[in-house]
């Protein structure tokens, strides 16, 4: 046997090295690292909000008009709002809401959009056409407008905002996966598994779909930012989270009446949205760079 095969130990080293290599590629861009740092901070803030917040009880129903609209100080680092609540504490709890909402929306969007995209791409035919035309109709309407319409029709609550955004978001995943599946289904390994007797379902979901995960992961990361932006927008318009929920959009809506005098009440929640969206975008771009190289290498390997 002319070919040399490594031992199990060497294989483990190779795998570890692969991960290191991906991390190395990710680190090449300072912006990716910045994104990673911001998102890590936001996640930590969300997880440890009760411990980090100087006044955790300010996140709920709490009124202290004696300290309303105080400027940033040693007691309230980012100032207080019109009800005397600590803005920093509320922002930390707001991170929880935004992250959970973003995750839920994208879980629904992926759970609905991805299987539809696989079915439309792999089966095609009438059913596929129908799925893609419905998708096109959804894509023709801006998601914020669609979500507005849905929340307006339902009662304005955080849960309904989530449902509304998910309702507007799944078609993007159907489109993405549809395109991926169309090109992947021409790959020889698909025909090879047909030649070995694999069923269509198995080929679509077990052979093709796993090859499409990296663009989906990149898109989910990028979309986290946009979903948070959209949900904050809905809340700002009063169609999402309702006061006194410490949602960032709601906080801006409450604080905007006191601009420009008590600028901190609206500015800091706005900064939180800005940083989180920026962070997810940078992180997503970084992941895309890593995955793209992986794909290029695989193609070059053949």
Partner 1 sequence: MAGRQLTDQPGSRERGNAGTRCQEPLLSVEDLVIHFHLYEGLARVINGVSLTIRRGESVALVGETGCGKSITAKAILGLLPPNAEIVSGRIVFAGRDLRRLPEEALQKIRGRKMAMIFQDPGTALNPVFTVGDQLMDVASWQGASRAPLVRRHNGELRRRCLDMLRLVRIPDPESTFRRYPIELSGGMRQRVLIALALLGEPDLLIADELGTALDVSIQDQILEELRELVRTQGLSVLYITHNLGVARLVSDRIYVMYGGEIAEVAPTAAMFSRQLHPYSQGLLAAIPRLSGSIGEGIEGRIPDYIDPPPACRFAPRCPFRMAICDQQRPLLAASEPGRLAACHLYPASTRR
Residues that bind partner 1 (CB under 8 A): 1-3, 5-8, 11, 14, 187-189, 191-199, 202, 206-207, 210-211, 213, 298, 301-302
Shortest spacing between CB 181 and partner 1, in angstroms:
14
Shortest spacing between CB 124 and partner 1, in angstroms:
9
Residue in 232, 236, 243, 253 with CA at minimum distance from that of residue 59: 243
Rounded CA-CA distance 215/229 in Å is 21
Rounded CA-CA distance 31/281 in Å is 10
The smaller minimum CB distance to partner 1, of residues 157 and 211, is found at 211
The smaller minimum CB distance to partner 1, of residues 12 and 133, is found at 12
The smaller minimum CB distance to partner 1, of residues 36 and 213, is found at 213
Rounded CA-CA distance 170/147 in Å is 12
Shortest spacing between CB 202 and partner 1, in angstroms:
7
Shortest spacing between CB 204 and partner 1, in angstroms:
13
Shortest spacing between CB 18 and partner 1, in angstroms:
9
Residues 129-139: b if buried by 16+ CB within 10 A, e if exposed: eebbeebeebb
The smaller minimum CB distance to partner 1, of residues 190 and 252, is found at 190
Cα distance between the two ends of the chain:
22
For residue 80, which phi and psi values (nearest 5 degrees)? -125, 160
The smaller minimum CB distance to partner 1, of residues 8 and 74, is found at 8
Cβ neighbours of residue 115 under 8 Å, at least 6 residues apart? 205
């Amino acid at each position: 046997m002319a070919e040399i095969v490594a031992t199990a130990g060497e294989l483990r080293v190779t795998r570890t090295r692969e991960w290191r290599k991906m991390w190395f590629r990710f680190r090449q861009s300072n912006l990716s690292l910045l994104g990673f740092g911001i998102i890590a901070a936001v996640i930590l803030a969300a997880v440890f909000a009760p411990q980090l917040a100087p006044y955790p009880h300010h996140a709920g129903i709490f009124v202290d008009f004696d300290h309303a609209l105080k400027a940033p100080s040693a007691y309230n680092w980012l100032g207080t709002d019109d009800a005397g609540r600590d803005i920093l504490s509320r922002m930390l709890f707001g991170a929880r809401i935004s992250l959970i909402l973003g995750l839920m929306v994208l879980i629904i969007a992926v759970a609905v959009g991805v299987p539809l995209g696989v079915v439309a791409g792999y089966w095609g035919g009438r059913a596929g056409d129908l799925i893609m035309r419905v998708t096109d109709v959804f894509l023709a309407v801006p998601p914020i407008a669609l979500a507005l319409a849905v929340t307006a029709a339902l009662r304005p609550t955080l849960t309904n905002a989530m449902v509304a955004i998910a309702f507007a978001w799944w078609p993007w995943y159907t489109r993405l996966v549809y395109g991926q599946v169309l090109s992947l289904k021409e790959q020889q390994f698909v025909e090879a598994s047909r030649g070995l007797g694999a069923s269509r379902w198995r080929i679509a979901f077990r052979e093709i779909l796993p090859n499409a995960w990296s663009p989906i992961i990149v898109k989910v990361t990028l979309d986290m930012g946009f979903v948070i932006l959209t949900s904050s927008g809905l809340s700002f318009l009063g169609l999402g989270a309702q006061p006194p929920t410490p949602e960032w959009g709601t906080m801006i809506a409450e604080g905007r009446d006191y601009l420009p005098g008590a600028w901190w009440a609206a500015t800091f929640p706005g900064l939180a949205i800005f940083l989180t969206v920026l962070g997810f975008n940078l992180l997503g771009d970084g992941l895309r760079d890593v995955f793209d190289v992986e794909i290029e290498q695989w193609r070059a390997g053949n």
